[in-house]
Structure 1
């Protein structure tokens, strides 16, 4: 039994509504991630767009068809924003609305009263573009999520290629051509889109949950106040690093930190800790490790770094701390420096750096001492 286009569009709208309800209440409300939020928005626009096309052939076609084109492209743009959020990129409103706006102008200007395919070339091109950009973002995300990432990226790539092929055939064969109607007509497209919608929604649900789990795992390994590695995570990563290479190890302590709390209050002390953490992060390389060892004590591991360079880095950190603006004089810092090597217990190297830090305190503070 052949299904007419209207029946398929109703089925698609029903599926979109179901996916939206499931994704919002099951995934978004449990993860609250930007990714799942954007995909919920995309599903809502797909639902509205497909529902608008149900009015094809009625007196409402003049506004329904252009609106359907616009909403579907807006849904594809929202899907792109969802994939961008996975890499931490925000999508400006003008960038999100550019393709839908172009689609709306082209669709409303192309005789929507009589032309069922009003704005067709622009609509197909923008759908292909948005899904292509989504696929590009998905292929770039964390390799740890290879299985899920690959399935979603592949689906986005396929739908991008499908709309690109529709555009080519539309331009060559025309909207009334036999090839376009039989291979890329509304019935075939609705079925393909329905399959894509279900597959991607479930894949994105899994991906969103994995992203949330990853974020919680990362949060568990970082200090809540400074954003640096916490003690246990630093020790784990440093031990792994020292299996293969030597590294300079720096133990740092803020001088007279209790006086900052007593004089200016604990919020000021927190600002001082964050300022020192920022000074460390802004000075070392991305391959170096920086952690909050406890209280006002910090620890830094600099792989393949000699003592002279490590001491120069402590001077740079202290200068950055001195220049920090917090509304009160920043405390100085003392440092103990040693070289940690493979085969030597990490705790032993930390104890050596701690002994050097003690000497720095004895010698008057605000200095670095090598073990």
Structure 2
């Protein structure tokens, strides 16, 4: 039995609506990502647009045909926008609307009541252009982004070339030309497009599944309140960074930071104010450290830094900058931000032993707390690595002249 174009279009619409339901329920509802939303929109446009062609040959063709052309181009524009969100951000609305509006205009003025291929060259050209842009965006993603990005880019690129060939054949010989009817007719291209839609949709679903897994890993490694790495996430990445420093024989610095008298902030202004302070400190860190540095919430009001390639003296400058940035943040109640004490330990002095560096920084932090807070104290060497391993304030320790130290409420230990 030979399948005619009407049967193929019905099958295409059925596949499109099935893929929309599956993609919406499996991908978008779990990720809520912009990419999934754009892909759902694309499949919906493909379904409605292909369904409109079923009205060709009826009195409704005059509006259904231009509308179908426009909706199909909207679908490919949505694919492009979704691909773009993976790399940078979605295009501007003017970019998104240009191709559909040109298609609608060309189709509307080309006798749509009698011409089933009204605006054909513009429609085919816009399909090729927008699918090609989507393929280019997918191809430009970093190779480590996803294992399905290459198949997605190749399938999209093949479809873009198919529509480019259709456009060239249409312009050269018209809709009844031999090349167009033999190699690029509606029946052949609908069947190929239907197969590619299935392939691309499953690849897109796999990409969404990878996004879900990445999101879960991010949630497992991040502190929900501050957005910084949590303790386990920091230690995992710091271990990798420390091994890399050891292989390249580069220096590094580990810093432990503790907000001074943080308990008094909670007691005086409430826990919501304390949360504001923690988020402000995280923001101050993000404003100050490099993208290659690691910052995590070590526990409570204590934070930890690993600065690869940074000397101890440079790290002390960074602690000052972080404290100054924290001071610049406002609070809802108008109270002053607490000061910060830091313990700084070199990583290169102990065979790149992360645990030893943390222990040394902890001793230095304790010394900073015990000697008046609001300062940075340098560890002489990581703990447990020979004589003189205790942390002592160096001559003229760094003092950050921020807000006055908040007076303690009741009896407190040196480490808040």
Q: TM-score range by the shorter chain?
A: over 0.9
Equivalent of residue 250 in structure 1, options 255, 269, 273:
255
CA distance in 1, matches of 2:195, 2:62: 29
Equivalent of residue 370 in structure 2, options 351, 358, 362:
362
1:333 aligns with 2:354: no
Pairs aligned (count): 371
Q: Is the 8 Å Cα contact of residues 243 and 352 (structure 2) preserved in structure 1?
A: no
Deviation at 1:172, TM superposition (A): 2.1
Deviations 1:255-286 (A, max 9, x none): 11111111211111111111111111111111
* TM-score with structure 1 setting the length: 0.95
Equivalent of residue 353 in structure 1, options 355, 358, 361:
361
1:292 aligns with 2:297: yes
CA distance in 1, matches of 2:133, 2:280: 38
CA distance in 1, matches of 2:331, 2:56: 63
Structure 1 runs of 4+ off > 4 angstroms? none
Structure 1 segments unaligned to the other structure (5+ residues)? none
State which drifts further: 337-346 or 264-273.
Answer: 337-346
Tell me what 1:277 maps to.
282
CA distance in 2, matches of 1:180, 1:34: 37
Structure 2 segments unaligned to the other structure (5+ residues)? 246-250, 380-416
CA distance in 1, matches of 2:178, 2:55: 24
CA distance in 1, matches of 2:232, 2:198: 42
CA distance in 2, matches of 1:367, 1:66: 71
Q: Is the 8 Å Cα contact of residues 146 and 207 (structure 2) preserved in structure 1?
A: no
Deviations 1:163-213 (A, max 9, x none): 122222222222221101111121111011101111111111111111111
Tell me what 2:75 maps to.
75
Equivalent of residue 306 in structure 1, options 301, 305, 311:
311
Deviations 1:277-299 (A, max 9, x none): 11111111111111111111111
Tell me what 1:318 maps to.
323
Q: Is the 8 Å Cα contact of residues 334 and 365 (structure 1) preserved in structure 2?
A: yes
CA distance in 1, matches of 2:341, 2:145: 42
Q: Is the 8 Å Cα contact of residues 341 and 375 (structure 2) preserved in structure 1?
A: yes
CA distance in 2, matches of 1:223, 1:89: 26
CA distance in 1, matches of 2:353, 2:33: 40
CA distance in 2, matches of 1:95, 1:368: 52
Tell me what 1:101 maps to.
101
1:207 aligns with 2:207: yes
Q: Is the 8 Å Cα contact of residues 33 and 212 (structure 1) preserved in structure 2?
A: no
Question: Could you say which structure has the higher helix fraction?
Answer: 1
RMSD: 1.7
Residue 242 of structure 1 aligns to a residue whose secondary structure is helix
* TM-score with structure 2 setting the length: 0.85
Deviation at 1:49, TM superposition (A): 0.3
State which drifts further: 341-350 or 37-46.
Answer: 341-350
Deviation at 1:121, TM superposition (A): 1.7
Q: How does 1:137-286 map to 2 (within 5 A)?
A: 137-245=137-245, 246-286=251-291
Deviations 1:53-91 (A, max 9, x none): 111122111111100001101111122222233346245
Q: Is the 8 Å Cα contact of residues 311 and 346 (structure 2) preserved in structure 1?
A: yes
Tell me what 2:387 maps to.
none
Tell me what 1:123 maps to.
123
**Greater RCO (Cα-Cα under 8 Å, separation 6 or more):** 1
CA distance in 1, matches of 2:273, 2:84: 36
Deviation at 1:92, TM superposition (A): 4.3
Deviation at 1:309, TM superposition (A): 0.9
